[in-house]
Amino acid sequence: MTSPADPVAIARDLLRCPSVTPVEGGALTFLETLLKRTGFTVHRMTFSEPGTADVENLYARIGASAPHLMFAGHTDVVPPGDAKAWSHAPFSADIADGVLYGRGAVDMKGAIACKLAATLDHLAANGGKPKGSISFLITGDEEGVAVNGSPKLLKWAAARGEMFDHCVLGEPGNVSKLGDTIKLGRRGSQNGVLVVTGKMGHVAYPHRADNPVRGLVKLMSALMDEPLDAGSAKFDPSNLEFTSIDIGNPTVNLIPGEARARFNIRFNDCHDYASLKALVEQRAAKAAGNKVKWKIDWEPSNADVFYTEPSPFTEVVVGAVAEVTGRKPKLSTSGGTSDARFIKDYCPVVEFGLIGTTMHATDERVPVKDLQTLTEVYRKILDNYFR
């Protein structure tokens, strides 16, 4: 093994697997073969839960001692949408003008390919064994409900005595240039439904009815008017966004009996679940007075806010990025949630992957050069971590 491993070839093989959540699509089998050949011990785990689809996952480790660096990621992808709208078929892994096309190119089969290529090179340069342990924790349930993926996989690993020291998750968090951003935390996410109850009746006789639409609009505007906070030292402001108003009334001359509005809150470290819900309910109650009959149905959430304090490990990642790309990455907590929210309960986690511009979009794609550069960054992380 003298020639460097090719992240582009690995990425193309992965992209040809149609692994739309919750389907495995051959992606984990491909990784299993490659990892086994490299000397990893590989476990394939299928997790189930009533009401959700079974999902396959993979855990692979090489080495038995500390320090233990975990590479985390997901091989599942979101659906491609209208395949005809793509300039290259979404699972063809075509390369045109130095750009690799395919669903999952940046989110995040590309980064998994880079981690794998970097690991193969690092091992080849070190007699086939790390000075510690390297593992791959790969889920097939990141883009879905995330029930039968990372949470169960991490629990399973902990139960068999796996101890992780640090994790690099490969989500595509760079904004416009490879190396501009490292993610150290994420805001939390909480869904809710605002329900206002009135009294059904004929529109021509409103005095005999009580239209819940009035109360709903009043409460909605109260909740939208006032910001939840002004942001914190590490996070952007929290935000409440209504996503749907649901009355479902097909009749033109009927005042409905109930009106609902769905919303999502992205919240920062000024709040925890309980204080956030209390704040929203307090504001709704104030707007409602004793006129509007209302309640909020809160959905269960597994997306709490978290922050990974900078450490020598962060320095290893920042240093590798700077050395390879010449950029000093911004330490960020922006954007949506990721599986880092589960991993952080087991070890410090830093997120660094490709550029996110085309994630989940038609014509998701990655410049071949970015795959090569990211592989160099991961290789540098490995070399410096196991020095």
Say which amino acid occupies 274. A
Beta strands in the chain (DSSP E): 41-49, 52-62, 68-74, 95-96, 99-101, 133-139, 166-169, 181-183, 185-186, 188-197, 201-202, 239-246, 254-255, 258-267, 293-298, 306-307, 330-332, 349-351, 365-367
How many alpha carbons lie under 13 Å from residue 287 in its C-beta half-sphere? 23
The Cα 306–Cα 186 span in angstroms is 6
Query: Residue 178 CB, nearest distance to Zn ion (Å)?
Result: 16
Nearer residue to Zn ion within complex by CB, 24 or 107: 107
CA atoms within 13 A on the CB side of 121: 21
Q: Which residues within the stretch 108-147 sit at the binding site for Zn ion (CB under 5 A)?
A: 108
CB of 100 to Zn ion, least distance (A): 17
If binding is defined by CB under 5 A, does position 107 make contact with Zn ion? yes
Mark the segment that binds Zn ion (CB under 5 A) among 103-111, 122-130, 278-286, 296-304. 103-111
Stretch that binds Zn ion, among 107-115, 144-152, 198-206, 309-317 (CB under 5 A): 107-115
CB of 293 to Zn ion, least distance (A): 41
Residue closer to Zn ion (CB basis): 133 or 139: 139
Residue nearest to Zn ion as judged by C-beta position: 107
Annotation marks residue 76 as catalytic: yes
> Does the protein bind Zn ion through residue 195 (CB under 5 A)?
no
CA-CA distances (angstroms) from residue 119 to 75, 92, 199? 18, 26, 65
Q: Of 107 and 269, which has the nearer Cβ to Zn ion?
A: 107
Nearer to Zn ion, 107 or 141 (CB): 107
Structure tokens at 323: 């050395």
Choice between 121 and 142, CB closer to Zn ion: 142
Site string for Zn ion, 59-98 (x = CB under 5 A): ----------------------------------------
Report, in Å, the least distance between residue 338 CB and Zn ion: 7
Minimum distance, C-beta of residue 107 to Zn ion, in the bound complex (Å):
4
User: Would you give the distance in Å from CA 297 to the centre of its chain?
Assistant: 25
Closest by CA position to 178, among listed 370, 359, 50, 315: 370
The question of whether 241 is a catalytic residue gets the answer no
Size of the site for Zn ion (CB under 5 A): 2
58-66, 83-91, 106-114, 132-140 -> range binding Zn ion (CB under 5 A): 106-114
For Zn ion, give the closer residue by CB, 143 or 304.
Answer: 143
Which residue out of 24, 32, 76, 171 is catalytically annotated? 76
275 burial class (0-12, 13-18, 19+ CB within 10 angstroms)? exposed
Distance CA 375, CA 365 (A): 17
Residue with tokens 């394939």: 44
Give bridge partners of residue 138 from the DSSP assignment. Answer: 58, 73
Give the catalytic positions in this structure. 76, 142
Q: Which residues of the chain form contacts with Zn ion (CB under 5 A)? A: 107-108
